[in-house]
Structure 1
Amino acid sequence: MEPTDPLLTAREGAKVLQVSIPTFWRRVADGTVPPPVKIGALSRWPHSEIVAVIENAKALRYGSAA
């Protein structure tokens, strides 16, 4: 069985991005952070997608497309 991509809460995602929880939700609203995976009433983000947000920001910093 393949290892799974851990799912993060908004608090954990904000911690990875080093932003506040309200800022994390603003980034979801503006599309910088992808929408959550919904599991019932729970909202979760795959760790790889949060890391991809960082990698995209790094690529944009140097003027190249991700």
Structure 2
Amino acid sequence: MADIEIPDDLIELERSAWTAIQNGTLTVETAQKVQERITEVAAEAGQSRTAVEMQLKQLVRHSQPEGEVA
């Protein structure tokens, strides 16, 4: 997987959406905002939307908490 620079605003959008998913409160509007921003970042980076989304989800959903060793 290519190392794509994910902007902070997209990381925050995904964190917000992930929290909403876990709480059962995700709205269509929130999901749409994330998808639209993923599409923008993919176009800017010259990468596929899927590659950006995969890297973003890996970063937000599967990263180790700060200070924790894998």
Q: Compute the TM-score of the two structures, normalised by the length of structure 2.
A: 0.33
Give 1 or 2: higher helix fraction.
2
Greater per-residue strand proportion: 1
* Greater relative contact order (CA < 8 Å, ≥ 6 in sequence): 2
Query: TM-score, with normalisation over the residues of structure 1?
Result: 0.35
